[in-house]
Amino acid sequence: MGAPTGRESEPPGEVREFVRAAPHLDGMVVSAVGYRSAGVRPALHRGLPSPYLTLIFSLDGPVVSGHTPEQVHSADAARTDIVVGGLRQRPAYVLQPEHEAGIQLSVHPLAARRLLGMPAGELSDELVASGADVLGRDAWEIHERLCAQGTWSERFALVTGYLQRRAAAAGRTTEVRPEVREAWAWLARHRGAGTLDGLAAHVALSPRRLTTLFRAETGIGPKQAARLIRFQHARSAVVRAVTAGHAPDLARVAADCGYYDHSHLVRDFRQYTDLSPTGWLAEECRNIQAGGHRNGEE
């Protein structure tokens, strides 16, 4: 991964640090972010759905998450130091403790076979999976070495080397079907716009057959993937506006990102965040300003 860049916001007694590195993994990893916070008031964070898988190596205690705020505070909460998350249609609630640190990677879903050893579709039944269960025992060795490293550059280099070795060991025996690969590329080029019939015709499959193959590979259908991709672009536009110090024009964002109208953008925000756009911005404004919403952003 390239040289990391960072931004830190430090109100009195509080540290929020986000350090980004450019992944050099042939598009298999879309983004890599190191994060650290200290002295913050414990709170709940909404982990939003995106078109990418999530891989987290937590360096300061387990990540505690759940489908609902109530689950996070119960014995049923998921607790793991190495998190692997599939493509979701609802937010995940994550406990933010007083101090935390880790590396979060956004992994392209079609790279799951090479990096994780399974198609992304096999991750869809759980909110998150234990990375040690998915990646194997060597993941714990990498985790321990990450905790012992002193700089972000060393940590990013360690993770990059680890994933490169996994990809090389997988070889070409784990190739994704070309129709599914081209279908994802088509959705990405169109930023989630277009029709299922148009997509199916492009890859020379029936809509039903394409949906079956696509869902088996990614865990979601092409229509759901299109909505996630479109929402990702819309959320990116909203975040850029806030970062630049402007109030986002949601009607313009909806039009620019291919939504039928403003109400359809609001509908997606409510599904993917459990809040309206303005409600989500009010809750996450400080985190956005500190640079915490650029993981996976284009």
Query: Is residue 243 domain-shared with residue 133, that is, in the same domain?
Result: no
CATH of the domain at 116: 2.60.120.10
Query: Is residue 15 domain-shared with residue 91, that is, in the same domain?
Result: yes
Query: Is residue 219 domain-shared with residue 121, that is, in the same domain?
Result: no
Query: Is residue 17 domain-shared with residue 143, that is, in the same domain?
Result: yes
Q: How far apart are CA 254 and CA 231, in angstroms?
A: 9
Query: Is residue 130 domain-shared with residue 271, that is, in the same domain?
Result: no
Query: Is residue 97 domain-shared with residue 197, that is, in the same domain?
Result: no
Into how many domains does the chain fold?
A: 2
Query: Is residue 183 domain-shared with residue 104, that is, in the same domain?
Result: no
Over residues 22-45, the pLDDT tens digits come to 888 999 999 999 999 999 889 999
Cβ–Cβ < 8 Å for 77, 71: yes
Structural domain that includes position 198: 177-298
Query: Is residue 110 domain-shared with residue 183, that is, in the same domain?
Result: no
Looking at residue 296, its pLDDT comes to 47
Q: How confident is the model at residue 173 (pLDDT cuts 50, 70, 90)?
A: low
Q: Which residues contact 125 (CB under 8 A, 6 or more apart)?
A: none
Cβ–Cβ < 8 Å for 103, 284: no
CATH of the domain at 261: 1.10.10.60
Lowest mean pLDDT among 8-22, 25-39, 212-226: 8-22
Last residue of a domain, one of 127, 151, 170: 170
Last residue of a domain, one of 170, 203, 228: 170
Q: How far apart are CA 272 and CA 28, in angstroms?
A: 24
* Mean pLDDT rounded to a whole number for the chain: 90
Last residue of a domain, one of 170, 197, 227: 170
pTM: 0.91
Q: What's the whole-number mean pLDDT along residues 138-158?
A: 95
Query: Is residue 190 domain-shared with residue 152, that is, in the same domain?
Result: no
| 147 to 9, 141, 154, 295: CA distances (angstroms) | 23, 10, 11, 21
Q: Which residues contact 71 (CB under 8 A, 6 or more apart)?
A: 77, 93
Query: Is residue 138 domain-shared with residue 181, that is, in the same domain?
Result: no
Over residues 38-84, the pLDDT tens digits come to 998 899 999 999 999 999 999 999 999 999 999 999 999 999 999 99
Query: Is residue 33 domain-shared with residue 95, that is, in the same domain?
Result: yes
Query: Is residue 20 domain-shared with residue 141, that is, in the same domain?
Result: yes
Lowest mean pLDDT among 7-11, 145-149, 285-289: 7-11
